[in-house]
A and B are shown apart, each in its own frame.
Chain A
Amino acid sequence: AQSVTQLDSQVPVFEEAPVELRCNYSSSVSVYLFWYVQYPNQGLQLLLKYLSGSTLVKGINGFEAEFNKSQTSFHLRKPSVHISDTAEYFCAVSEDFGNEKLTFGTGTRLTIIP
C-alpha cells in the first residue's frame, strides 16, 4: 500500500526567502504525485501534479516540484515566498495500477514572517 511522509509539520520562512517543503512516498508500483494547498478557512486547491514525463513540474503561484524516483521524493519549492503563501500544504500519492486510492501526507504548515 502506498504512503506519504511529510517530515516537517511547520515551516517558518521570512518573506522573499526561498522555501522547500519535503515529501517522501512509499509504493511498490509507479505513482502519480500531487501537492495541494489549503489557505486559511478554505478548501483544497491543486497546486501541481506529476503524472509522467519531465520530472520537474511547475504549478500555480510560482511553485514547482521535482520527482526523484531513486529517492522516492517529491519536494515542493518556491524561490521567493510572499505573505499570501501562508497556508497548509499537503502532498498526496496515487498508484498507477488501477488503484483509486488517493493517500495524503499529514501536511506542512507554511508560515511567512514579514
Chain B
Amino acid sequence: EAQVTQNPRYLITVTGKKLTVTCSQNMNHEYMSWYRQDPGLGLRQIYYSMNVEVTDKGDVPEGYKVSRKEKRNFPLILESPSPNQTSLYFCASGALKSWGTEAFFGQGTRLTVV
C-alpha cells in the first residue's frame, strides 16, 4: 500500500531535549516536505527536499533541521525544542514532476513541548 509513515504519532517532550520525527514513503517520490499545522494559521511549510541531498527552507524553518540521505526518508530534527514548537506536524511526498498536482500526506505527529 502506497503510504507516508510518520513516527511517533504523539510526543511530549521537555524544552531543550533534542528529538527527531521520522518520515518514510514507499512510493519512490523525489519530493518530500514538512508542514506544521496551528489553529488559525493552517499548514505552513517548514522544509522541503527535491531529491537526495537537496533540501531547502520553507516559510517557517527556524528551529528545525532536516536531512535527506536516502530517497525514502526525510526526518525532521528539533535540536532544542521550545514550547512555541508545540504543533501538529505533517510530512508529505510526491513525484517531482507532479508534486504540484498530487501530494500524499502522513497521518501527522502531535508534538507537545513543555
Whether B100 lies near A102 (C-beta < 8 A) is: yes
A106 to B40, alpha carbons, bound, how many Å? 6
Minimum CB–CB distance for B55 against chain A, Å? 13
Whether A90 lies near B101 (C-beta < 8 A) is: no
Whether A9 contacts B45 in the complex (CB less than 8 A), given A42-B107, A100-B99, comes out as no
Tell yes or no: B41 within 8 A of A by CB.
yes
Give the size range of B's interface with the partner: 20 to 34
Per-residue contact bits, chain A 87-113, to B (CB 8 Å; 1 contact, 0 not): 000101011100111111111000000
Residue in A closest to B56 when the chains form the complex, CB atoms: A100
Return chain A residues, CB-CB under 8 Å to B43. Answer: 44, 90, 92, 104
A106 to B41, alpha carbons, bound, how many Å? 5
A104 to B58, alpha carbons, bound, how many Å? 13
Return chain B residues, CB-CB under 8 Å to A96. Answer: 100
| 10 interchain residue pairs of minimum CB distance | A94-B100, A106-B42, A43-B107, A104-B43, A44-B105, A104-B42, A100-B99, A43-B108, A107-B42, A43-B105
Having A4-B42, A49-B101, one finds 7 other A-B pairs with CB under 8 Å, namely A6-B42, A42-B107, A43-B90, A100-B48, A100-B100, A102-B45, A102-B103
By a beta-carbon cutoff of 8 Å, the part of chain B in contact with chain A is 31, 33, 35, 40-45, 48, 50, 58, 90, 92, 96, 99-103, 105-108
